[in-house]
Each structure stands twice: as structure tokens, then as C-alpha cells.
A = this chain, B = another copy of it.
Amino acid sequence: MPPPQSRRKATQVDIARRAGVSQATVSLVISGGAVSDQIAESTRQAVLAAAAELGYSVNVAARSLKGGRNRLLGLYTFEPVFPTDQRDFYYPFLLAVEEETARQGYDLLLFSSVNASADRSIYASGANRLKLADGCVLLGRNVRREELAALMREDFPFVFIGRREVDEGELSYVAVDYVTATSAMVAELSRLGHERILYLRAMEDTEPTRDREEGYRRGLDEAGIPFDESLVQGLADPAGLSVERLQHWIGSLGVTAVLIEPTEDDRLVQALAVMDDTARVRFPDDCSVALLGDPPSWTSDLRDWTRFSLPRTQMAREAVRMLIDLLGEVSPAPRQLSIPCSFVPGDSIGPVPSGGAQPDQASRPDQASRRRREP
């Protein structure tokens, strides 16, 4: 057995010495795929043998230093990704980003200033930590616009998962086509005879919400249903969706169908499920319900809501691919990609309930009596 070598790892210089060639030759043999066929076979064998004997392995740092790239992609989330209550929502993105990154031969750098909420900033400590990576995939609902703008100013390559707008100009994103999906949902309801369709939107004015609202209006328009401002309701808190409120809408507004924008946690959908289970409001018997997105916590015993479903895996993959594409260009222009949602028929929409089609007072006592029906 040879005496334990010095702790130092073998380098190409060591191999070169042992094989009686130059370091450059070693480099050509080891990693020069295309150029290495101009090396004589005997030399090649000698080098490979020496490399094997010395247990050589390439020094990644040196290689990427030379190349200017680290082969690292960053994943930055504007919201904590790991907490349990949002885990089902973000997990598919994570999974797919990680997979595709690996498939492309990159490693994934996970940025997370999890705890100190104030620290959750790209520009913590003055230095831009993101820049450790060659480029970055961004994720999260509550974006800090200034940070995005700063990234753009510095020409740092990044791709957002989800459509985002910034005053500074265009940025690259892979989004989901909420507009088309929502308007298709309205069309579907219209086909079933619904005309009083309530849109229950999130309070914050983010792009996903804006897009849904646009889809809602477009859908009404194409179905020839007039837009009624009172049928767009904001919901600040999932707890705000009470049986009473829903019954009020059904009763006094004549609503027969509700489009709901699901939140990232599962309370909203849970609330709906409870109403249905306890038969205080039944879907679709009393009212049709469709979700404008996936219910976040999907377990097999959950109700099969009518909804459209985000192709999260595909979105994440496309984002990674787009990012790597951008990295390859000298002066890349921002790109936008929009992916269609898939429609899930489910069982929570149906024809207009017989007594509830007319938006007049007649239906109100009916609903009021039903309210007492609980045990």
C-alpha cells in the first residue's frame, strides 16, 4: 500500500507529471469533448490511467471560475415555502424546479431568510446574495416590487413563476392563463343557464386576481350577460365566508353560481366543505360553485370541486428552461410564457336551482326558512 499521500487532492498538474505530458493535454483529455480527438490514443490512455491511479476528480470551483458560471440556479421565494399550511400549494413548484434544475445539470441554491421576516429581502446586508447563482427562479404572491426593479436594473437573469408587472419594464415570467380559464368557466356556467354569477375575489390587488377579474368580465361579455358591480365581492379573510353571507347573496342578489378564488391556505375551501356537509348550503343544489384554481390541500377524501387546475409542474419546468435559455444569450430580451389551465368538471356545478332563477323578493322567504333547517 502506498504511504498516505499528502492531504492535497490530485490536480491536473499531478497527472501531467506522472504521465509525462503537459497540464493542457490533461485538460484536453479529461474534459475536452470535441477537441480531444486530436489527441493520440496512446497519450489519451496514459493520461486516463494516471488520473485513475491518483483518484483525480475535477475541481468544480476552478472550472466554473474559468467559465464565469457556477452552474447554480437560485430559487427565491417571497413567502416562506416550507410552513405546513402552505406546503401543498408550493410543493409542486419546488419539486419541479428541483427536478428540472437537476436534469439540466445545474444545482439548486435555496434562498430563505425564513425566520426574521424583516430579513426576507433579496438585498439583505447590501450584498445581493442571489447573485451567487447564475440566474434565479422567483416565486411567491406578495412580491416586493422594488427588489424586482433592482434586479432588472442590474441585468440579473431571473424568471418569475406567475405573471408580474413592474413599472420599470418587462420582466420574464411563466404564467398561467387565468383570463382564458376564468372566462371559460363563466361560459360553462352560462351554458347551464346561470346569469347571476358572483365573483368572490381576494382583497389584494395582485396580478393573479386582476387576471381572474378580467376573465370574469370577458366571460360575461361573451355570454351576453351584463356586468353587475355588486356581484364582485372582495374577501379579506377566509373566515369572512359565512353561511349567512352566502345565503344573503343567494337570496337578495339572486345569485345562482359563485366563482371563488382559493387562498393559499385551505381555510376557504374547508369552510365551503363544512357548509355542504352540514347541508346548510348545498352545492350544486342550492348554488353552483367553481374554484378559480386548485384547492390547496388536496386529500383524496376532499370533495371534487368544479375548478380549473394550475399546471404547476409544467410551469416550474418551463421557468427553469426559460432561465437557462436566457443565460445562454448575450443580451436577452424578457420573455413571457402563458400556459393554459386544465378544466376539472367536478360535481359542484349544475343547472340553475328551480326556485332561485329570478332575482326578485319571492325567493327571499324561501331562503330564510331554509336557514332555520339546521338541527
Contact = CB atoms under 8 A, between A and B. Distances in A.
Contact of A62 (B30, B61, B98, B330): B61
B110 A48 contact: no
A111 B57 CA distance: 15
Interface stretch (A128-136, A217-225, A254-262): A128-136
Interface string A69-109: 01010000000001000010001001100110111000111
A57 B131 contact: yes
B109 A110 contact: yes
Interface string A19-51: 000000000001000000000000000001001
**Number of identical protomers:** 2
Interface in A292-350: 299, 301, 330-331
A371 interface: no
A153 to B, nearest CB: 8
Contact of A95 (B4, B82, B101, B111): B82
Contacts of A127: 51, 56-60, 63
A107 B129 contact: yes
Given A7-B155, A82-B99, A154-B9, A60 B129 contact: yes
A113 interface: yes
